[in-house]
Amino acid sequence: MKHLSALLLTLMASPALAASGPFFSLYNTNFVVTVAFIGFVALVLYLGVPKMLGKMLDARADGIRAELEEARSLREEAKALLASYEKKQAEVQAQADRIVEAARVEAAAAAEQAKADIKNSVARRMVAAEEQIASAEASAIKDVRDEAIVVAVAAARDIIANRMTAADGNGLIDDAIDQVGTKLH
């Protein structure tokens, strides 16, 4: 019905109606063009070209819909992947911050430990130096005493040798022997 009304409207608006002379003659170009047009339209309708065009357009629309769906799906996957990577990046950044903070705390603790170790080392070295000084002082005092004894013995020998006679010396020797004998028994 649609096709028939479209055909009638086409015929009514055609310039063939405005031509002079017999319209239904093969010599009238308007009639021939109108018949050829009607034949072409009839052939197109008979062959189902509008249905084929509709099917092709529907297939194309379905293809476009499928592509749009696939694009939406890919977009959603990309958003999910982006969110996943952003979450991983945030986790990695947080972990890096924790590592840096732990390293900072560890470095501060190591610095404090190093300071304490240096203080202990200095204290040990001071004690060792003081011990060496005391030992050297004791050794020097011993050396001075030994030298003083040697000098005193030499001086006493000289004094005794100059002032003592042989009889006094023999008496001292006998006295020393008696004292040793009483002290040992």
What does the pLDDT read at residue 86?
A: 95
Residue 19 near residue 30 (C-beta atoms within 8 A) = yes
Q: Cβ contacts of residue 37 below 8 Å, gap of 6+?
A: 10
Q: Element (H or E) spanning 1, and its range?
A: none
How far is Cα 43 from Cα 39, in angstroms, rounded to an integer? Answer: 6
The pLDDT value given to residue 180? 80
Q: According to the model, what pLDDT value does residue 93 have?
A: 95
pLDDT reported for residue 76: 96
Q: What is residue 12's predicted lDDT score, i.e. its pLDDT?
A: 55
* CA 171 from centre of chain: 100
Residues of the chain with pLDDT under 50: 16
Looking at residue 91, its pLDDT comes to: 95
